[in-house]
């Protein structure tokens, strides 16, 4: 009884078979079919490898929304070297709310030589090359996002020599916390002094011959400090052509949430335009000598998310490749055989007509001889 039920079940499964098998005695193989099969299998293998490489890759998705956070503080990370002695310069931030953030709240003034060592010059040159490539190919920014915390540090390497060169510059580095409103971070002559009616620097004791605002921006960023991220002003170096010279940087800061498979952080991207001019009151060029970074906060926030192709989508694409190539090559092979048979059939008919027997009256006979009963005996 059990064997009978098993046989019925097996017969039922055979009836449900959607892939009927053709007996091998009915299958005809050919050299052309083998060639087409070899081409199809090679194409399938190549496209499968390419599709697997696409499956392993990731891409960055950008989403935009209104930034509703107005109460938190904005962190500014600074590492700038100015070609003046530390006692001659002062750095601070003044925002639109007339709130002054002094450099003593988080910046360090370090006397250093302005001239870089050969190793530092090579690093700076490579950083400038990367910056120029980023301006031409914006898709490289996605590579930098994905390699954050994995790549080498973007900070200037320390000096490897122990020379007794006297420090002729001042490295101002550290971080400041400011309000999330437009402001102006500036480095100018003299230390900042608090004043109830405005903002002033004690510059009267510094001679104009000592002014030299040649500077190098080793790092400038906003928000959380993320190693491996290259910012637009990193590696910038400006040499002043005059003692009374003003360098201006107009910065637009965009809050950014970065979510990759390695990190999840809240940082800020920014774009910048530059301007520099010599201060000459007699010629109508008014202003104050120094380095001025005027930043504005964008009302939009960007969410950058690293995405990956789902495994089910990879399987669907892979099945589409295999099935599509098999179907396409089968159709092309069948069409080619059809055309070849037509051509060869016409050729054979022409050969039969040329070898037909002539009749006495000048006509030709294309009929085959009839087989009679007498011829079989």
Q: Is 206 helix (H, G, I), strand (E, B) or coil?
A: coil
Query: Is pLDDT above 90 for 291?
Result: yes
Give residue 215's pLDDT.
94
CB atoms within 10 A of CB 284: 6
Residue 17 has phi, psi (to 5 degrees) of: -70, 115
Residue 105's pLDDT is what? 72
- The Cβ of residue 360 has, within 10 Å, a number of other Cβ atoms equal to 5
Place of tokens 């004690």: 202
Backbone angles phi, psi at 331, to 5 degrees: -65, -45
Lowest mean pLDDT among 11-20, 184-193, 250-259: 11-20
Give percent of the chain with pLDDT exceeding 70.
79
Strands 73-82 and 58-66 come out as: unpaired
Boundaries of every domain in the chain: 68-298
Which of 257-261, 290-294, 343-347 holds the top average pLDDT?
A: 290-294
How far apart CA 192 and CA 199 sit, in angstroms, is 8
pLDDT range class, residue 80, cuts 50, 70, 90: very high
Confidence of residue 353 (pLDDT cuts 50, 70, 90): low
In percent, how much of the chain has pLDDT > 90?
A: 16
Q: Give how far Cα 34 sits from Cα of 27, 30, 212, 244, 321, Å.
A: 13, 6, 79, 82, 20
Please tell me the predicted confidence (pLDDT) of residue 354: 55
- 340/336 Cα distance (integer angstroms): 6
Question: Would the pLDDT of 2 be above 90?
Answer: no
Structure tokens at 348: 């054979």
Write the pLDDT tens digit of every residue in 146-176: 666 555 556 677 776 655 677 889 999 999 9
Cα 181 to Cα 253: distance, rounded to the nearest angstrom: 10
Most confident of 25-34, 41-50, 144-153, 331-340: 41-50
Q: Hey, is 321 helix, strand or coil?
A: helix
* Strands, E assignment, the chain: 58-66, 73-82, 89-95, 100-102, 107-112, 169-179, 183-189, 191-195, 198-202, 215-223, 236-238, 245-259, 264-278, 290-297, 300-308, 357-358, 364-365
pLDDT for the residue 376: 44
- Among 8-17, 65-74, 204-213, the range with the most confident prediction by mean pLDDT is 65-74
Query: Which among 138-142, 178-182, 247-251, 300-304 has the top mean pLDDT?
Result: 247-251
Three-class SS of residue 131?
A: helix
177 DSSP β-pair partners: 75
Instruction: Quickly list DSSP for 152-192.
Output: ---SPPPP-----PPP-EEEEEEEEEEESS-EEEEEEESEE
Query: What pLDDT, on the 0 to 100 scale, is given for residue 166?
Result: 79
Is it the case that residue 318 has pLDDT exceeding 70?
A: yes
């Amino acid at each position: 009884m059990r064997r009978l039920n098993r046989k019925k079940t097996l017969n039922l499964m055979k009836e449900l078979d959607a892939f009927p098998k053709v007996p091998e005695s009915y299958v005809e193989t050919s050299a052309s079919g083998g060639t087409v099969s070899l081409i199809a299998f090679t194409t399938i293998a190549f496209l499968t490898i390419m599709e697997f490489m696409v499956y392993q890759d990731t891409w960055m998705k950008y989403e935009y929304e209104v930034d509703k956070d107005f109460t938190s503080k904005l962190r500014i990370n600074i590492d700038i070297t100015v070609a003046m002695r530390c006692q001659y310069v002062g750095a601070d931030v003044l925002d639109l709310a007339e709130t002054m953030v002094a450099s003593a709240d988080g910046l360090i003034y370090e006397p250093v030589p302005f001239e870089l060592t050969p190793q530092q010059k090579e690093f700076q040159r490579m950083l400038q090359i990367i910056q120029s490539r980023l301006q031409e190919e914006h898709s490289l920014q996605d590579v930098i996002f994905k390699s954050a915390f994995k790549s080498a540090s973007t900070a200037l390497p320390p000096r490897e020599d122990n020379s007794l060169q006297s420090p002729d510059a001042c490295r101002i580095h550290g971080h400041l916390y400011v309000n999330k409103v437009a402001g102006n971070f500036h480095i100018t002559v003299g230390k900042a002094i608090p004043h109830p009616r405005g903002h002033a620097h004690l510059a009267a004791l510094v001679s104009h011959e000592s002014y030299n605002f040649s500077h190098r921006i080793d790092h400038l960023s906003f928000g959380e400090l993320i190693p491996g991220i290259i910012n637009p002003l990193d590696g910038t170096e400006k040499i002043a052509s005059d003692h009374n010279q003003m360098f201006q940087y107009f910065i637009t800061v965009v809050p950014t949430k970065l979510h990759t498979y390695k990190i999840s952080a809240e940082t800020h991207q920014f774009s910048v335009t530059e301007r520099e001019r010599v201060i000459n009151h007699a010629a109508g060029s008014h202003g104050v000598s120094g380095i001025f970074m005027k930043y504005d906060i964008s009302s939009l926030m960007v969410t950058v998310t690293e995405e990956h192709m789902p495994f089910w989508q990879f399987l669907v694409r892979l099945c589409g490749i295999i099935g599509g190539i098999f179907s396409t090559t089968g159709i092309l092979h069948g069409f080619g055989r059809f055309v070849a048979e037509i051509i060869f059939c016409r050729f054979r008919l022409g050969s039969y007509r040329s070898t037909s027997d002539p009749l006495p009256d000048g006509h030709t006979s294309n009929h085959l001889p009839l087989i009679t009963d007498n011829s079989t005996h």
